[in-house]
Structure 1
Amino acid sequence: MTLTDYLPVYRLRLRTERLELRMPDLDDLVALADQAAAGVHGPDFMPFLTPWTECEPLERGRRTVTHQMSVIAGITPESWMLPLVVVHEGQVIGIQEVGAKEIKATREANTGSWLALAHHGKGFGTEMRAAVLEFVFTGLGADFALSASFEGNRASEGVSRKLGYKADGIDHHVLQGVRRQDNRWRLTRADWEAHRKHEVAIEGLDAEVLASLGLGDAEE
């Protein structure tokens, strides 16, 4: 037996022009932790609802490893999040998450991501989100993809707009004692098709993987 027999989602690969997205092994988690330790965002803007980056580099890396291991351990057909590492030229440069609850009924999925600071501004954010959107719409047959970004996160908002998302309301959160506006974004299948520019190859998405994510023959 191999890991993919016990966790079929490890068969999954998403490939774009420059990137590969995959479930992380232990070496990938170490590489991801190194990138987190090196820095994820500037000091003047906190993009995360949970300010996990506000600590020393070693602790930031440790938090990355333990959090992603807990996310992997929590995958069930009813509720799952796939923490896909983003690999460019053999190097892990960030993470692209995609998740859903009761996707068989809701037909919608959520995404979130971060890139190491050294890899900002190179179009990777758009390309990696495009990869999971292909997975969500073509691979899983979803109708909607959802995202959110704090007001002022122009990079994330720019990716959403570029890929065809439309504003879907706001939420308020208290972060570090301050009220922050969280802008919700929704992408329909029609808008995704109209803005689809990246070619994405989906590998390893077989019946066992679909079943592990709450989808099977009955959904067709």
Structure 2
Amino acid sequence: MLIDHWPLVGLRVRTDRLELRLPTDDELAELADLAARGVHRPDERPFLTPWTDLPPRELARGVVQRHWRDRGLWTPYQWTLELAVFAHGRPVGVQQMRARDFAVLREVKSASWLGLEHQGRGVGSEMRAAMLHLAFAGLDAEHAVTESFTDNPAPLAVSRKLGYRPDGISRDVLDGQVRVSQRLRLTRRDWVTSDRPAVTVEGLDDRCRELFGLGAPAVPPTA
């Protein structure tokens, strides 16, 4: 069975309303269709990713390829977990968590997107809270970091609600112009003392933890 070789397929993170897990290929196709219908208004540009610059078919294909790529490139020393977010059994978005040298740094980075038709219902906050529970309670992380454009208030509000604190800025070039992002950081101490929804984690066994670098050598082997 696939789970014998890739135990991440058995990982489940649940809140009262949501379930986060790896999608099947058919569910991945649903996610791709969802993204093609829009993750933000056409007159906005809240991400570096050019969500509205590609034809819907190419955009959908890119979502599928990104999931396959992240699984194929996974190592215990550098990984990206693309969790599909389900509400009432249907995919509504993606919550990403990634890390490099996690066994040493104990730090995760996050990003996410949510189908336009599912926004404004508190889903973004709840799925990030679920991811943070997996990071801190499940994987013993010490820090979680994220960033958003300074003129994109929704994810910044989610971060502040969950206890993140400002952690500087970053600057990128988008369409020939400088775009400034606010970096934010959540420490384990602040996470423990913050209000958060009840979250349960299933399937995080020793084989699964090894894929996150827990139990593996702290330094990648050299050739």
TM-score where L is the length of structure 2: 0.94
C-alpha separation in 2, matches of 1:7 and 1:86: 19
* TM-superposed deviation, 1:48: 2.0
Distance 1:110 1:95 in 2: 14
1:189-208 superposed matches below 5 A: 189-208=188-207
Task: Quote the residue 1:92 is aligned against.
Answer: 91
Q: Distance in 2 between matches of 1:77 and 1:197?
A: 29
What is the alpha-carbon distance in structure 2 between the residues aligned to residue 102 and residue 96 of structure 1?
20
Partner of 1:66: 65
2:24 pairs with 1:25:
yes
Letter in 2 for 1:122: R
1:46-98 Cα deviation digits (max 9, x unpaired): 22223244212122111111111111111110000100000000110000001
The CA deviation at 1:45 is 2.2
Q: Paired residue for 2:213? A: 214
SS in 2 for 1:205: coil
Partner of 1:102: 101
Distance between the aligned counterparts of 1:9 and 1:47, measured in 2?
30
Q: Percent identity?
A: 46
Query: Is 114-123 or 188-197 further displaced after alignment?
Result: 188-197
Supply the distance in 2 between the matched residues of 1:181 and 1:104 (Cα, whole angstroms).
Answer: 30
2:221 equivalent in structure 1:
none
Structure 1: runs of 5 or more not aligned = none
**How many equivalent residue pairs?**
218
CA distance in 2, matches of 1:146, 1:137: 12
**How far apart, in 2, do the equivalents of 1:56 and 1:38 lie?**
11
1:15-61 CA deviation, whole Å, 9 max, x = no partner? 00100000121011101001001100012322222324421212211
RMSD, aligned CA: 1.3
Runs of 5+ in structure 2 lacking a partner? 219-223
Dislocated runs of 4+, deviation >6 Å: none
- How far apart, CA to CA, are the structure 2 residues paired with 1:189 and 1:196? 13
**Residue type of the partner of 2:2?**
L
1:174 corresponds in structure 2 to 173
Contact 1:52 1:63 in 2 (8 A): no
Q: Which amino acid aligns with 1:93?
A: V
Residues 122-144 of structure 1: CA distance to partner in whole angstroms, max 9, x if unpaired?
A: 00000000001000000010110
* Match in the other structure for 2:151: 152
* TM score, norm. by length of structure 1: 0.96
